[in-house]
């Protein structure tokens, strides 16, 4: 169904340049006219989300610019083939792009709603393109994928998951665009080697348009892809990969997975981790690898609360992680056994990095200020050292992260008593976490683990929403002391 066509290099270069310029130019226009665009949207306040890693509230319409660049570049080349494959593929993006755009404009589409839109888009792709993954290049998998209903089901679910996976990495400046560019370039090379020229050129157009957006997303994020961009580009990218598998028997399935590695690895690791911890799979947290790396950079090197530096730097630090699997997939694209071995090695490395980064951050963390009152922290109860029987740990004091401050009080009533962990925050109820710690170090480790898993906001206690409530609470605390 896919027509392989030959296009003079000059025309390809012009179309790639056009895709880049349209994406970059439209992105600038969206930024320039943001105030007018916001008249048709609702406030989102994304930077306050639990999983947020960015600063400010950049416009989430970068996907509109990238998609426009891709479509324009493809249109310039439409006269050289029937264009059926490109037309059908772009048509299948509409459901997931529309659902994402509605969410980007602040009107609210649940994660389940967006996933269903991705499933519908993938189902359209199967119907219109007539393609799905029919093999696994491994014993057992070939039998399963050879059964059409099972193959179609797995193809649709994995394609929808990949769309969601790209969305999860959009909050780190430049990361989503970098992943899309690397993967698209890898698919372009493999498709070209397999003789699928049309798919190869379309992948190059996607990379070029994504690069135009990248310049507005890194190092300082003026735009984010948004759900429309992340889901839409994720859909196009994964279906380019599926198309290569379906149309080129010589291309190894695990090699294509390597080309799409990071979003898949991040999502499957997250789902597995939450399931093992008996947590809701859909509940957001800050335990993705890129988020751990960002916080690790702050804890060990940059200093806490400096997202404007740690966020773009994380994307640079992660270049070997995002580029390595793609490069490997390109090298072993026609060798299934080597590709499977490489894929398993990268899966193990990915899981190991999670553990290593956490361990390194704990071992080499920069000391934080542990005593005294910081500017802007008036209203904290502070530490009462008037009672000589009370022992206050050296770990006690203000803890600051992501522009939020909480007073940590680790103490015990006598030399033989267990340690007690309490936190205080301005305009919030004091929170006693436990009074049964064997050592003050155990209490401090518990606090850090909770911050890493849930965020510092979760350690600040219930908010007191009215002034009478705050007075009543502080009076109760003083009378109970």
The residues of the chain scoring below 70 in pLDDT are: 1-8, 42-56, 81-82, 304-305, 365-389, 401-404, 426-428, 461-481
Contact 290, 169 (CB under 8 A): yes
Within 13 Å of residue 190, how many CA atoms lie on the same side as its CB? 36
Query: How many structural domains comprise the chain?
Result: 2
Position 312 scores a pLDDT of: 92
Whether 335 and 473 share a structural domain:
no
In a domain, 207, yes or no: yes
Within 13 Å of residue 213, how many CA atoms lie on the same side as its CB? 38
Contact 228, 163 (CB under 8 A): no
The token pair that represents 303 in the structure block: 């200093």
In a domain, 312, yes or no: no
Contact 148, 133 (CB under 8 A): no
Whether 341 and 419 share a structural domain:
no
Whether 190 and 255 share a structural domain:
yes
Contact 189, 25 (CB under 8 A): no
The token pair that represents 317 in the structure block: 């630090």
* Secondary structure string (H, E, C) spanning the chain: CCCCCCCCHHHHHHHHHHHHHHHHHHHHHHHHCHHHHHHHCCCCCHHHCCCCCCCCCCECCHHHHHHHHHHHHHHHCHHHCCCHHHHHHHHHHHHHHHHHHHHHCCCCCCHHHHHHHHHHHHHHHHHHHCCCCCCCCCCCHHHHHCCHHHHHHHHHHHHHHHHHHHHHCCCCCCHHHHHHHHHHHHHHHHHHHCCCHHHHHHHHHHHHHHHHHHHHHCCCCCECCHHHHHHHHHHHHHHHHHHHHHHCCCCCHHHHHHHCHHHHHHHHHHHHHHHHCCCCCCCCCCCCHHHHHHHHHHHHHHCCCCHHHHHHHHHHHCHHHHHHHHHHHHHCCCCHHHHHHHHHHHHHHHHHHHHHHHHHHHHHCCCCCCCCCCCCCCCCCCCCCCCCCCEECCCCEEEEECCEEEEEEEEECCCCCCEEEEEECCCECCEEEEEEECCHHHHHHHHHHHHHHHCHHHHCCCECCCHHHHHHHHHHHHHHC
Q: From residue 171, give the alpha-carbon distance in Å to each of 54, 222, 288, 292, 463.
A: 6, 12, 11, 13, 27
Domain with 41 in it: 9-288+318-348
In a domain, 309, yes or no: no
Whether 186 and 253 share a structural domain:
yes
In a domain, 460, yes or no: yes
Whether 336 and 408 share a structural domain:
no
Whether 344 and 401 share a structural domain:
no
In a domain, 262, yes or no: yes
Contact 99, 117 (CB under 8 A): yes
Whether 113 and 44 share a structural domain:
yes
Whether 97 and 165 share a structural domain:
yes
Whether 326 and 431 share a structural domain:
no
Whether 176 and 278 share a structural domain:
yes
Cα dihedral: 84, 74, 238, 267 (round 10):
-150
Q: Computed from CA positions of residues 143, 147, 151, 153, in that sequence, does the dihedral angle turn out positive or negative?
A: negative
Position 47 scores a pLDDT of: 44
Contact 250, 194 (CB under 8 A): yes
Calpha distance 423→215 (Å, rounded): 42
Contact 94, 31 (CB under 8 A): no
* Secondary structure string (H, E, C) spanning 14-58: HHHHHHHHHHHHHHHHHHHCHHHHHHHCCCCCHHHCCCCCCCCCC
In a domain, 310, yes or no: no
Calpha distance 393→444 (Å, rounded): 9
Nearest of 244, 279, 296 to residue 401 by alpha carbon: 296
Nearest of 426, 307, 288 to residue 357 by alpha carbon: 288
Calpha distance 220→159 (Å, rounded): 30
In a domain, 370, yes or no: no
Whether 94 and 14 share a structural domain:
yes
In a domain, 313, yes or no: no
Whether 340 and 409 share a structural domain:
no
Calpha distance 142→150 (Å, rounded): 11
Calpha distance 57→429 (Å, rounded): 29
Contact 417, 411 (CB under 8 A): no
Position 417 scores a pLDDT of: 83
Strand partners, 405: 400
Backbone Cα Rg of the chain: 26
Strand partners, 29: none
Q: From residue 250, give the alpha-carbon distance in Å to each of 207, 220, 255, 259.
A: 24, 42, 11, 16
């Amino acid at each position: 169904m896919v027509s392989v066509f030959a296009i003079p290099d000059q025309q390809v270069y012009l179309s790639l340049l056009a895709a880049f310029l349209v994406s970059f130019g439209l992105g600038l226009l969206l930024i320039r006219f943001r105030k007018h665009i916001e008249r048709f949207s609702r406030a989102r306040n994304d930077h306050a989300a639990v999983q947020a890693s960015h600063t400010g509230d950049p416009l989430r319409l970068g996907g509109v610019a990238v998609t426009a660049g891709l479509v324009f570049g493809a249109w310039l080349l439409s006269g050289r083939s029937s264009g059926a494959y490109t037309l059908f593929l772009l048509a299948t993006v509409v459901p997931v792009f529309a659902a994402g755009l509605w969410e980007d404009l602040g009107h609210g589409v649940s994660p389940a709603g967006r996933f269903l839109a991705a499933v519908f888009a993938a189902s359209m792709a199967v119907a219109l393109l007539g393609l799905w993954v029919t093999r696994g290049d491994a014993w057992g998998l070939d039998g399963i994928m050879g059964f059409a209903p099972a193959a179609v089901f797995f193809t649709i679910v994995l394609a929808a998951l990949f769309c969601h996976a790209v969305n999860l990495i959009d909050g780190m400046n430049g990361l989503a665009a970098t992943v899309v560019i690397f993967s698209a370039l890898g698919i372009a090379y493999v498709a070209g080697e397999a003789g699928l020229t049309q798919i190869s050129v379309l992948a190059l157009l996607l990379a070029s348009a994504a690069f135009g957006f990248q310049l507005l997303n890194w190092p300082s994020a003026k735009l984010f892809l948004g759900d429309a961009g992340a889901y839409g580009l994720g859909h196009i990218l994964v279906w380019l990969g599926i198309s290569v598998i379906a149309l080129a028997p010589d291309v190894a399935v695990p090699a294509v997975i390597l080309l799409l590695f990071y979003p898949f690895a991040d999502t499957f690791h997250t789902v597995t981790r939450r399931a093992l911890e008996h947590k809701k799979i859909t509940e957001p947290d800050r335990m993705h690898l890129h988020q751990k790396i960002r916080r690790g950079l702050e804890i060990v090197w940059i200093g806490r609360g400096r997202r404007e530096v740690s966020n773009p730097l994380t994307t640079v630090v992660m270049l070997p992680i995002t580029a390595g699997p793609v490069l490997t997939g390109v090298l072993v694209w026609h060798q299934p056994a080597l590709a499977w071995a490489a894929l398993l090695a990268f899966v193990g490395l990915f899981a190991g990095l999670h553990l290593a980064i956490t361990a390194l951050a704990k071992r080499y963390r920069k000391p934080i200020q542990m005593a005294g009152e910081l500017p802007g922290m008036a209203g904290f109860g502070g530490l009462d050292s008037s009672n000589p029987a009370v022992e206050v740990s050296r770990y006690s004091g203000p803890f600051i992260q992501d522009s939020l401050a909480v007073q940590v009080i680790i103490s015990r009533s006598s030399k033989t008593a267990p340690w007690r962990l309490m936190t205080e925050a301005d305009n919030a109820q004091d929170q006693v976490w436990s009074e049964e710690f064997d050592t003050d170090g155990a209490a401090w480790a518990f606090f850090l683990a909770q911050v890493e898993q849930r965020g510092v906001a979760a350690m600040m206690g219930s908010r007191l929403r009215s002034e009478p409530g705050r007075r009543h609470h502080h009076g109760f605390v003083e009378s109970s002391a």
